[in-house]
C-alpha cells in the first residue's frame, strides 16, 4: 500500500501500487507531493512453516538462527533449504530400501544354495 502525502505530510490518498500513486500525483499536477510505502503489519509464522523449519534442521543437520515466529524469516530459510531437505530424505529412503532389498536377496540366495533348503527341511522335520 502506498500513501500520497502533501507538502505538509498530510494524507491525500492511498493506492495499491507505486505506479498508481505516482500517476495520481502527476494528474493533480503535484510532483512535489511525496509517496510513502505503508509498512506491512507483522505477520507471524504458521505452524506449517515451523514444522518445515524443524524438518530442514533434522534432515540437513543445520540450525535455524532466524526468528521462528516471523513469517518472512521462516520463508527465506525455507526457500533456501526445503528442497534440499526433501531431496536428502528421498535419497536416504531410497538407500534404505535398496539396502533392505540387498539383504533380502542375500537371505534368499543363502537358502537357495545347494543343500541349504534340504538341511533346513531336515532340521525342521
Query: Within a domain: residue 76?
Result: yes
pLDDT, mean of residues 35-61: 92
Does the pTM exceed 0.75?
Answer: no
pLDDT tier, 75 (very low <50, low <70, confident <90, very high otherwise): very high
33 and 66 in a common domain: no
| Rg (the chain; Cα; Å) | 32
Question: pLDDT (tens digit, 9 = 90+) per residue, 20-33?
Answer: 999 999 999 999 99
61 and 21 in a common domain: no
Query: Within a domain: residue 124?
Result: no
Judged against a pLDDT cut of 70, whether residue 46 lies above it is answered with yes
DSSP code per residue over 79-90: HHHHHHHHHHHH
Nine cell digits for residue 28: 493533480
Number of domains comprising the chain: 2
* Terminal Cα distance for the chain, rounded: 83
**Domain range holding 96?**
47-112
Tell me if residue 110 falls in helix, strand or coil.
Answer: helix
E runs forming strands in 6-125: 11-15, 34-37
**CA 43: distance to chain centroid?**
17
Amino acid at each position: 500500500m502506498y500513501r500520497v502525502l502533501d507538502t505538509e505530510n498530510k494524507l491525500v490518498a492511498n493506492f495499491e501500487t507505486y505506479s498508481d500513486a505516482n500517476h495520481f500525483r502527476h494528474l493533480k499536477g503535484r510532483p512535489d507531493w511525496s509517496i510513502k510505502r505503508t509498512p506491512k503489519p507483522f505477520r507471524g509464522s504458521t505452524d506449517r512453516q515451523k514444522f518445515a523449519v524443524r524438518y530442514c534442521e533434522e534432515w540437513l543437520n543445520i540450525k535455524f538462527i532466524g526468528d521462528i515466529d516471523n513469517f518472512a524469516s521462516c520463508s527465506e530459510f525455507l526457500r533456501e533449504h526445503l528442497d534440499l531437505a526433501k531431496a536428502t530424505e528421498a535419497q536416504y529412503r531410497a538407500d534404505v530400501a535398496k539396502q533392505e532389498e540387498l539383504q533380502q536377496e542375500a537371505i534368499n540366495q543363502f537358502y537357495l544354495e545347494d543343500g541349504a533348503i534340504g538341511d533346513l527341511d531336515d532340521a525342521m522335520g
